[in-house]
Structure 1
Amino acid sequence: MEKNEHLNQAGSLIYEHYPEILNTVAASLDNEDTKRGLDHLLHIIEGRVFNGDRSLTYQGVKNAGYEKGKHDSACFQELVELFPYISEGIWNYISNINDDYVLTMDERLRLNKEVELTILHYNAGYTNGYASKVDNENNNFNQKLNELSVPIIKVDNNIGVCPLIGDIDSDRASVLMSKTLNNVSEEHIDYLILDLTGMGHVNELVAKYLFDIVNSMELIGTNIIFTGIHKQLAMTAISLNINLGDKKIYQTVADALKSINKST
């Protein structure tokens, strides 16, 4: 945007009346987080457009929006809905505070384009930042859920029960493998009952993970006992050439415990 007396005057008005413009745009807002979000964007517009700060590139505007969306997005939906009205609020205000100058249509279009592009780039960064935050929160939640959903319950000094509940995907199977291996070693578990009664569907990859876990635990001296194996898992084991005939398999955990007590 080329320097122009009228454009500079418009910029000066925005700079001088910045608090009033913010209050005009945010007049109906009760949410302080949303007001702070608007304040941040208006400062970006002020720096990029009205102060002529060309060191603040559009990528810089987008980065600023990204950081705001990633770290301070409690009012995401409300703030995004206000973005289209920010430009209108700016123009309404500067039109009302000074009648001594008139911008030509070309000048108005160029200034309006600069404001709109700044808002669009900020919005793109803000939305991506918020999406990144949500993804991180979901990943952290899923990780904690996986850790909680593969417990090993000690029923005796050297006997543990690991109930597998729900569908198991490859991520959860990976957590299961590392968690169970660590636990049976740390807790000195000699007998581990893998109760599969509540386990949902598993594909061949997950079934392979499961039996790899079993083999690994048997290698470190833990006796594995299966309970509640359903037909689908048995069929999958056959397709993987896994011999269940040499495994200890019982219908219920109670049956497995009786077998252990007899053998000891």
Structure 2
Amino acid sequence: MSSRINTIMMENSDVIIKNWLEIVSEKRKNDYTSSISEELFQSTNREFVNVIFKSLDQEGLTKELEDFSERLVNLGWPLSYLTDGLQTFRRVAIDFILSQGEQIDTDYFSRILDKVDSWVDPIINKLVNEYSGSWEHTVSLQRVALQELSAPLIPVMRDITIMPLIGTIDTERAKLIMENLLDGVIKHNAEVVLIDITGVPVVDTMVAHHIIQAAEAVRLIGATCILVGIRPEIAQTIVNLGIDLGKFPTKSSLRKGFEKALELTDREIVRHEDRNQMIEDIMESLEKE
């Protein structure tokens, strides 16, 4: 029985492929593949069903099907394209075998189902595992990249560093901010750190608590923390929440914060005109002597 089903499938592969392509093409009208060019869609389908038949012939997941699925993953095609295609192939194969004119009884139908399932299910399971592994690897790489960018500490001048924060701050990210902040202050021998929250959309009690903790930790290792980028709505929220930010300087903009940092490190901004005037005064004083 099993060999007869194999023979029917292989000898009628062209008809089964044609039926499969018709169903998949019809379903395309209602899914994401409608945005893909007709030429690419049809060529991908033909390749897909051919590698399926090769897997059936070799009774397992072939290198061709593995390469095909990996390429689709890299191109951004969802797993549902592969699993839906295999489920459609299951239905087409069963319908075709049942149409071959033999008397259909429960035992015969059950054996057909078992045989086709033994073809399709291992392939689906293997593809899901392969796809999940690739996805988890991609997500892991993205998470590492985001962590590296989520709390950078930038030395902008001797003794002065800036940490610009963008996006939502949760507990995990707050821990990363604290670690980068303390390591960076020591590494760059910074006296002043500006934490810029211009890009933080919401400052609630939890976010403020994390910022206060970070500023206090910076103070304990001998540096000063200045919180900059406090917009009016954030200032109002902080007041309404009763949060005390009086332990360290706060400024509305990065420019004002940087001016404060210069002051704390015994520097000042001298305008070009003022500098020229100062030089002239010094020269005039020397001439009088």
Q: Shared fold (TM-score greater than 0.5)?
A: yes
Unaligned runs of 5+ in 2: 26-40, 267-289
How far apart are 1:199 and its partner, in Å? 1.9
Partner of 1:216: 217
Q: Deviations over 1:108-127 (max 9, x none)?
A: 31133214644467546645
Find the residue that maps to 1:86 and give its secondary structure: helix
Cα 1:90–1:197 shift into 2, 3 Å? closer
Whether the 8 Å contact between 1:193 and 1:226 is mirrored in structure 2 is yes
How far apart are 1:180 and its partner, in Å? 2.4
How far apart are 1:134 and its partner, in Å? 4.1
**Partners of 2:162 and 2:153 in 1: CA distance:** 6
Partner of 2:108: 108
How far apart are 1:70 and its partner, in Å? 8.1
Cα 1:9–1:246 shift into 2, 3 Å? closer
The farther-off stretch of 249-258 and 114-123 is 114-123
How far apart are 1:226 and its partner, in Å? 1.5
Whether the 8 Å contact between 2:152 and 2:163 is mirrored in structure 1 is yes
Paired amino acid for 1:244:
L
**Partners of 1:233 and 1:86 in 2: CA distance:** 60
Find the residue that maps to 2:198 and give its secondary structure: coil
Find the residue that maps to 1:195 and give its secondary structure: strand
Whether the 8 Å contact between 1:70 and 1:132 is mirrored in structure 2 is no
Whether the 8 Å contact between 1:167 and 1:200 is mirrored in structure 2 is yes
How far apart are 1:156 and its partner, in Å? 0.9
**Partners of 1:20 and 1:203 in 2: CA distance:** 64
Paired amino acid for 2:254:
V
**Partners of 1:254 and 1:84 in 2: CA distance:** 61
Whether the 8 Å contact between 1:7 and 1:103 is mirrored in structure 2 is no
How far apart are 1:246 and its partner, in Å? 2.6
Paired amino acid for 1:217:
V
Whether the 8 Å contact between 1:193 and 1:225 is mirrored in structure 2 is yes
TM-score (norm 2): 0.61
**Partners of 1:69 and 1:236 in 2: CA distance:** 53
Partner of 2:4: 9
**Any residues of structure 2 matched to 1:113-262 within 5 Å, and which?**
113-115=113-115, 117-118=117-118, 119=120, 123=124, 126-127=127-128, 130=131, 133-134=134-135, 137-138=138-139, 140-229=141-230, 230-231=234-235, 232-233=237-238, 236=241, 238=243, 243-262=244-263
**Partners of 1:139 and 1:149 in 2: CA distance:** 15
Cα 1:249–1:207 shift into 2, 3 Å? closer
Whether the 8 Å contact between 1:227 and 1:252 is mirrored in structure 2 is yes
**Any residues of structure 2 matched to 1:77-116 within 5 Å, and which?**
77-91=80-94, 102=102, 104-115=104-115
Whether the 8 Å contact between 2:212 and 2:245 is mirrored in structure 1 is no
Whether the 8 Å contact between 1:165 and 1:199 is mirrored in structure 2 is yes
Partner of 1:51: none
**Partners of 2:157 and 2:197 in 1: CA distance:** 20
Rg bigger for which structure?
2
Q: Deviations over 1:50-80 (max 9, x none)?
A: xxxxxx9xxxx9xxx99x9789635434333
Whether the 8 Å contact between 2:196 and 2:227 is mirrored in structure 1 is yes
Paired amino acid for 1:111:
R
